[in-house]
Amino acid sequence: MADKGIEVEKHQANSGGSLDLALQGADRVLYFTHHYTSMTSCKNNFLVGTSKLAKKHGVSTFTAVCPVEHDFAYTENHSHSWIS
């Protein structure tokens, strides 16, 4: 992204307090999680909490990226697979 002139500041947060500090002064937030299909309540709560903190800090753009690992994809209806 640097070759496109986009500066990215990476913050790994393990608590609401550290996330609150990381968002101070932010204008745009790009939130990444991993293995979305095995979301636990704590991952989901962290995503919701991040969006609430972004609103509190006046972030203009909040984007969440939740990739799906297709190796673990499953459906009971083979004619309507969510992968395809």
Average pLDDT for the chain: 80
pLDDT over 90, % of the chain: 29
Residue 41 CA to residue 61 CA, distance in Å, equals 24
Question: Residue 33 CB: number of other CB atoms within 10 A?
Answer: 15
Residue with tokens 């459906």: 75
Higher pLDDT, 81 or 23: 23
pLDDT tens-digit series, residues 6-39: 888 888 877 889 889 999 999 999 988 766 555 5
Higher pLDDT, 5 or 57: 57
